[in-house]
């Protein structure tokens, strides 16, 4: 009898692990679809080509994430942070290696930043999802996509 219980427990753990893996893969697929369908056309306006750099993350209300990005000398870049409306007014800051703010989306009132770099540099993109304003205890989650274009 003892082996039967261990056998069933093993199947339960394996089933739960498979479910979690499939759910995370489904969430990433949905984010990728959202980015390509809703965000990519805007990125490619004004002659910008998609660089192939796509960072997707599923975030909850109140989350904050930092992403390190590298930009090469001699190109004009377009950086776009695209997010699902359920998250509210997502904001981002682009910080140089010294932590100084190069761009603040909230002050500029846009989610697109066009710029040039004088030398190859790394920047930190700091993305903030606003906290929930309700007290019902249910947090919304949504996709945030970071796309890079150049010309």
Instruction: Give the pLDDT band of residue 144 (cuts 50, 70, 90).
Output: very high
pLDDT at 9 over 70: no
Tell me the per-residue pLDDT of 31-90, one tens digit each, with 9 for 90 and over.
888 888 889 999 999 999 999 988 999 999 999 999 999 999 999 999 999 999 999 999
Tell me the per-residue pLDDT of 106-131, one tens digit each, with 9 for 90 and over.
999 999 999 999 899 999 999 999 99
pLDDT at 23 over 90: no
pLDDT at 30 over 90: no
Per the rule left: phi > 0, alpha: psi between -120 and 50, beta: everything else, 30 is alpha
Per the rule left: phi > 0, alpha: psi between -120 and 50, beta: everything else, 19 is alpha
SS (H, E, C) the chain: CHHHHHHHHHHHHHHHHHHHHHHHHHHHHHHHHHHHHHHHHHHCHHHCEEEEEEEEEEEECCCEEEEEEEECCCCEEEEEEEECHHHCCCEEEEECCCCCEEEEHHHHCCCEEEEECCCCEEEEEEEECCCCCCCCCCCCEEEEEEEEEEC
Which domains, ranges and CATH numbers included, belong to the chain?
2-150 (2.60.120.380)
Q: Any idea what the Cα angle at residue 24 is, between residues 147 and 43, rounded to 5°?
A: 10
Of 79, 27, 77, 72, nearest to 54 (Cα)? 79
Tokens 């089933």 label which residue?
15
State the distance between the two ends of the chain, measured CA to CA, in whole angstroms: 68
């Amino acid at each position: 009898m003892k082996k039967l219980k261990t056998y069933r427990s093993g199947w339960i753990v394996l089933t739960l692990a498979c479910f979690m893996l499939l759910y995370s893969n489904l969430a990433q697929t949905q984010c990728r679809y959202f980015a390509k369908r809703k965000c990519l056309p805007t990125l490619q306006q004004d002659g910008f080509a998609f660089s192939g750099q796509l960072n997707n993350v599923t975030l909850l209300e109140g989350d904050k994430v930092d992403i390190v990005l590298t930009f090469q000398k001699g190109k004009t870049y377009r950086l776009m942070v695209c997010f699902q409306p359920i998250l509210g007014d997502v904001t981002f800051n682009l910080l140089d290696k010294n932590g100084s703010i190069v761009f603040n989306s909230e002050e500029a009132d846009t989610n697109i930043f066009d710029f040039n770099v004088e030398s190859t540099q790394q920047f930190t993109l700091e993305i903030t999802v606003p906290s929930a304003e309700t007290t019902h205890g249910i947090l919304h989650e949504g996709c945030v996509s970071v796309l890079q274009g150049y010309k």
